[in-house]
Amino acid sequence: MSQGTKTKSKKARREAWEGRLFIAPWLIGFLVFTAGPMIASLYFSFTEYTVINPPKWVGLDNYIHMIRGDKLLLKSLWNTFYFVGISVPFNLIIAFLMALLLNIKIRGINLFRTLYYLPVLTPAVASALTWGIIFSTDFGILNGIIKQLGMQPVSWLFDIHITKLVFVLMGFWTTGGSAIIFLSGLQNVPQSLYEAASIDGANGFQRFFYVTIPMMTPIIFFNLVQGIIASFQIFIPAYVITNGGPVNSTLFYVLHLYNNGFRYLKMGYASAMAWVLFLIIICFTIIQFRLASRWVFYESAL
């Protein structure tokens, strides 16, 4: 082996060790704070664990109870699926339209982009409390405006027919994060494609539907997957504002999981619920990836 080859090999080994050293803090954090608790929760899901007493192995009893004995499980699943089915599509549409507006080259556009993104940085509890005040029946800002217009106030948070829709509206507050991702995609669409379409006689709508949307499908797919994962885990607004009410109409799955784990101290059962939710999200993600080949154009995006 030549001296140059030995030098390169030594340098490569040193760079490899340096790389391992730099990722070590993240890797340790992942193992201790993510992988470790996941493995522990998998074990607890097969036990009767009340936190106060040591876990007792019960096998599949928690999963059987979930199917046969938990009367609120189906209700929480229905509430969650309802929220996901309405929230995700509307959030995608609004975020995409917002990105189109933020992509317009006007004076001060950077200020508008910052303002639209700021709600994403607001603490979730603070946002929930603010929205709770806005939709309050007695002293809410929204009902105050309705009264000024001479109409009867609406029980936004106490009507089982509209309460979940109120939470969908609250979700629009944080569409700025998806809008920024859409904006980055819009700015990477080659202008040559628009010029070629214009030469072929395409008008603005045709350029939008036949150039912009196909080029944006990878970004749409990414935001869709991220939105479904996040929506299935809705918790803070329901916990802070309604605590699952009225009549369990906002008892979402994660809130039901939280109640079992931290209110009723059924940590083993809550761990089983967590793994079921994990499997549900994994199934939806796999389905999305399987269907992606039919409408996502990665080659065109390149």
Residue-wise pLDDT for 132-161, tens only, equals 999 998 888 999 999 888 888 899 999 999
The whole-number pLDDT of residue 301 equals: 42
Segment 54-89, tens digit of pLDDT: 999 999 999 999 999 899 999 999 999 999 999 999
Backbone angles phi, psi at 122, to 5 degrees: -70, 135
Region of residue 108 (left: phi > 0; alpha: psi -120 to 50; beta: else): left
Any domain includes 105 = yes
The model carries a pTM of 0.89
Any domain includes 8 = no
Any domain includes 9 = no
The whole-number pLDDT of residue 9 equals: 77
Backbone angles phi, psi at 114, to 5 degrees: -65, -45
Any domain includes 288 = yes
**Could you tell me if 173 and 127 are in contact, meaning their C-beta atoms sit under 8 angstroms apart?**
yes
The whole-number pLDDT of residue 128 equals: 93
Total count of domains within the chain: 1
Mean pLDDT for the stretch of residues 162-191? 92
- The answer to whether residue 47 scores a pLDDT higher than 70 is yes
The whole-number pLDDT of residue 108 equals: 86
Domain residue limits at 181: 64-301
Cα distances (Å, whole numbers) of residue 159 to 40, 143, 195, 301: 40, 14, 52, 45
| Mean pLDDT taken over the chain | 91
- The answer to whether residue 4 scores a pLDDT higher than 50 is yes
pLDDT-based confidence at residue 7 (cuts at 50, 70, 90): low
Any domain includes 25 = no
CATH number of the domain encompassing residue 77: 1.10.3720.10
Mean pLDDT for the stretch of residues 192-196? 89
Any domain includes 16 = no
Any domain includes 213 = yes
Any domain includes 1 = no
